[in-house]
């Protein structure tokens, strides 16, 4: 009887004991002991600014996905900037994929219409929807376009209206017919990185002051590959001396030999050429070296002129083969 009363009394004292019979008070105490509950260290889930989330992105203050992403708030703006030299390209579009708090993926577009071809900045901004930016793409180009013609950047502007403004560049690269700059897979590049646009600058030739003048467009960087110039002299006596003058800097180079009357000579200027005068096919020619890696900037002038020019001497068409980059 005493053992029974002890069992009941201890059972009342030790709440939570599993019902049953126990041989001794020690067994009863052991059965009533419960392990302490572990502290719940799970971070609070991330919460949307505008609506209860139907998906969980990560921990508070550090939302994350399985791949690179950026959380976009209602104060953020995306800016598309384009520097273009292709007159046929009149619009560029950026596409953004945003994972919204409701679990839906939204595709937003920034359309930049009326694109200029003077290599100055064309800019368009877009107020973004809240969510996780999971991808961005610029393009595709609507016309044939080469590397070095259309440089594009996509920049996330945070704290708009607050000083200082935080700008995070996501994309910086050229848009071409076969390449669309993307994020997060792409690489941010400066305009002068990689290959440029190779083309020939053509000037019509003779001018009243007896020289040819070509001015490099603003906002460009050129690597001069070669310059060719034809000079046809009249029957009048005299030795003509052809030279190329590059300014600023008043840098000039003079052909190796003079040109007499009634001759047609083709002058070729290019990096690392030997000094040489001779005949190529049916046209006499001269080769004149330029410095290796001959790089020039916007506003540089190329003047081809001849000392002792005579009346009826004529400069033909000037061809300057260059590799061009946009230079904001």
**Model confidence over 150-186: pLDDT tens digits?**
999 999 998 777 777 788 999 999 999 999 999 998 8
Radius of gyration from C-alpha coordinates of the chain:
38
At residue 316, does pLDDT exceed 60?
yes
C-alpha distances in Å from residue 278, one per residue of 139, 193, 255 = 50, 38, 12
C-alpha distances in Å from residue 235, one per residue of 171, 239, 282 = 60, 11, 19
Per-residue pLDDT tens digits for 186-245: 899 999 999 999 999 998 655 545 677 889 999 999 999 999 999 999 999 999 999 999
The whole-angstrom separation of Cα 302 and Cα 147 is: 25
Query: What pTM does this model have?
Result: 0.76
Residue carrying structure tokens 């393009």: 139
C-alpha distances in Å from residue 27, one per residue of 11, 15, 77 = 11, 15, 69
Per-residue pLDDT tens digits for 30-61: 666 555 555 566 655 555 566 555 555 555 54
Q: What is the pLDDT averaged over residues 67-82?
A: 88
Q: Which residues of 119-150 are buried (b: 16+ CB within 10 A; e: fewer)?
A: beebebebebbbbbbbbbbbbebeeebbbbbb
Q: What is the pLDDT averaged over residues 297-310?
A: 91
Q: What integer pLDDT is reported at residue 11 of this predicted model?
A: 44
């Amino acid at each position: 009887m005493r053992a029974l009363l002890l069992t009941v009394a201890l059972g009342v004292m030790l709440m939570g004991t599993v019902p049953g019979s126990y041989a001794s008070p020690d067994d009863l105490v052991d059965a009533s002991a419960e392990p302490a509950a572990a502290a719940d260290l799970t971070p609070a889930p991330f919460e949307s600014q505008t609506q209860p989330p139907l998906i969980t992105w990560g921990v508070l203050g550090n939302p994350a996905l399985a791949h690179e992403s950026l959380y976009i708030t209602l104060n953020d703006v995306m800016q598309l900037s384009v520097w273009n030299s292709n007159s046929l390209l009149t619009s560029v579009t950026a596409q953004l994929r945003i994972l919204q708090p409701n679990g839906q993926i939204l595709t937003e577009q920034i359309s930049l219409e009326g694109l200029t071809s003077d290599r100055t900045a064309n800019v368009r901004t877009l107020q973004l929807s809240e969510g996780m930016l999971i991808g961005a793409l610029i393009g595709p180009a609507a016309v044939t376009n080469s590397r070095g013609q259309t440089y594009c950047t996509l920049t996330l502007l945070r704290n708009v209206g607050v000083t200082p403004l935080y700008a995070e560049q996501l994309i910086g690269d050229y848009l071409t017919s076969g390449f669309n700059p993307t994020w997060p897979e792409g690489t941010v590049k400066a305009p002068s990185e990689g290959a440029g646009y190779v083309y020939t600058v053509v000037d019509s030739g003779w001018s009243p002051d007896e020289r040819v003048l070509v001015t490099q467009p603003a906002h460009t960087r050129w690597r001069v590959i070669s310059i060719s110039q034809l000079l046809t002299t009249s029957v009048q006596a005299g030795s003509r001396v052809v030279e190329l003058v590059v300014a600023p800097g008043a840098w000039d180079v003079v052909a190796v030999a003079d040109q007499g009357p009634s001759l047609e000579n083709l002058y070729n200027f290019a990096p690392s050429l030997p000094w040489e005068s001779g005949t190529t096919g049916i046209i006499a020619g001269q080769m004149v070296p330029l410095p290796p890696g001959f790089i020039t900037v916007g506003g540089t002038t190329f003047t081809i002129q001849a000392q002792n020019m005579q009346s009826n001497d004529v400069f033909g068409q000037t061809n300057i083969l260059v590799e061009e980059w946009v230079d904001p």
